[in-house]
Structure 1
Amino acid sequence: MDQNTLFIIVIVVMLAGMMFWQSHKAKQQQQKVKDFRESLQPGTEVITIGGVIGKVVSVDSRYEEIVIDSDGSVMRFTFRSISKEYVRPAYVDDSEVDEHGNPLPSANPTDADGADQVPVDSDPDATVPDSGDGVRVEPIQEPEASDASTIQKDAPGAGNVAAPREL
Structure 2
Amino acid sequence: MSLLTFLPFIVLIGAMFLMTRSAKKKQQQAANMRDSMQPGTGVRTIGGMYATVKEISDDTVLLEVAPGVHAVYAKNAIGAVLDDEEYNRIVHGDVPGEEIPAVPDDASSLTDSLTEGADEGRVDLGKKDADAETTADAAEDETVSKDSKTDGEK
Aligned counterpart for 1:37 among listed residues 11, 14, 34: 34
* Alignment partners' CA distance in 1, 2:39 and 2:25: 26
State the TM-score, normalizing by the size of structure 1. Answer: 0.49
Aligned counterpart, 2:75: 79
Aligned counterpart, 2:3: 6
* Alignment partners' CA distance in 2, 1:157 and 1:36: 65
SS at match of 2:37: coil
One-letter identity of the residue aligned with 1:50: G
Aligned residue pairs, count:
102
> Would you say the 8 A contact 2:34–2:81 is kept in 1?
no
* Alignment partners' CA distance in 2, 1:11 and 1:40: 45
Aligned counterpart, 2:64: 69
In the alignment, is residue 26 of structure 1 matched against residue 23 of structure 2?
A: yes
CA distance change for structure 1 residues 54 and 158 in 2, over 3 Å: closer, same or farther? closer
* Alignment partners' CA distance in 2, 1:57 and 1:157: 66
Deviation of 1:77 after TM superposition, in Å, equals 0.8
> Would you say the 8 A contact 2:64–2:70 is kept in 1?
yes
CA distance change for structure 1 residues 57 and 8 in 2, over 3 Å: closer, same or farther? same
CA distance change for structure 1 residues 32 and 159 in 2, over 3 Å: closer, same or farther? closer
Q: Which of these two proteins has the greater Rg computed from alpha carbons?
A: 1
> Would you say the 8 A contact 2:45–2:77 is kept in 1?
yes
In the alignment, is residue 51 of structure 1 matched against residue 48 of structure 2?
A: yes
Percent identical across equivalent pairs? Answer: 27
Give matches, 1:132-147, under 5 Å: none
CA distance change for structure 1 residues 56 and 159 in 2, over 3 Å: closer, same or farther? closer
* Alignment partners' CA distance in 2, 1:157 and 1:68: 62
Whichever structure has more helix as a proportion of its residues is 2
One-letter identity of the residue aligned with 2:79: S
* Alignment partners' CA distance in 2, 1:11 and 1:67: 50
- Larger mean CA deviation between 80-89 and 67-76 belongs to 80-89
Unaligned 5+ runs, structure 2 = 94-104, 106-134, 142-148
Give matches, 1:71-150, under 5 Å: 71=66, 72-86=68-82, 87-88=86-87
State the TM-score, normalizing by the size of structure 2. Answer: 0.53
One-letter identity of the residue aligned with 1:26: A
